[in-house]
Amino acid sequence: MGTDAITDEELILRIGEGDQTAYGILVDRHLSLNLGYATKLLGNAAEGEEVMQEAFIRVWKHASRWDPARKTRFTTWFYRVVTNLCYDVCRKRKPQSDVGILDRMASDDMSADNVIAVDQRSNRIKKALEELPQRQHTAIMLCYFQGLSNREAAEVMEVSLNALESYLVRGRRNLADILSDEKNSLLKEIG
Please give the pLDDT value at position 100: 44
At 35, which CATH number?
Answer: 1.10.1740.10
On whether residue 160 sits in a domain, the answer given is no
On whether residue 162 sits in a domain, the answer given is no
CA distance 28 to 3: 11
Number of structural domains the chain divides into: 1
Listed in sequence order, the residues at least 6 apart from 51 whose beta carbon sits closer than 8 Å to its beta carbon are 38, 42, 82, 85, 86, 89
Please give the pLDDT value at position 160: 95
Give the amino acid at 108: D
Below-70 pLDDT ranges, the chain: 1-3, 93-122, 182-191
On whether residue 131 sits in a domain, the answer given is no
Per-residue pLDDT tens digits for 117-154: 445 566 777 788 888 998 999 999 888 888 889 998 99
On whether residue 118 sits in a domain, the answer given is no
On whether residue 16 sits in a domain, the answer given is yes
Please give the pLDDT value at position 99: 40
Domain residue limits at 1: 1-96
CA distance 148 to 80: 12
On whether residue 5 sits in a domain, the answer given is yes
Please give the pLDDT value at position 1: 54
Please give the pLDDT value at position 108: 45
What predicted TM-score, i.e. pTM, was given to this entire model?
A: 0.66
On whether residue 31 sits in a domain, the answer given is yes
On whether residue 111 sits in a domain, the answer given is no
CA distance 92 to 65: 29
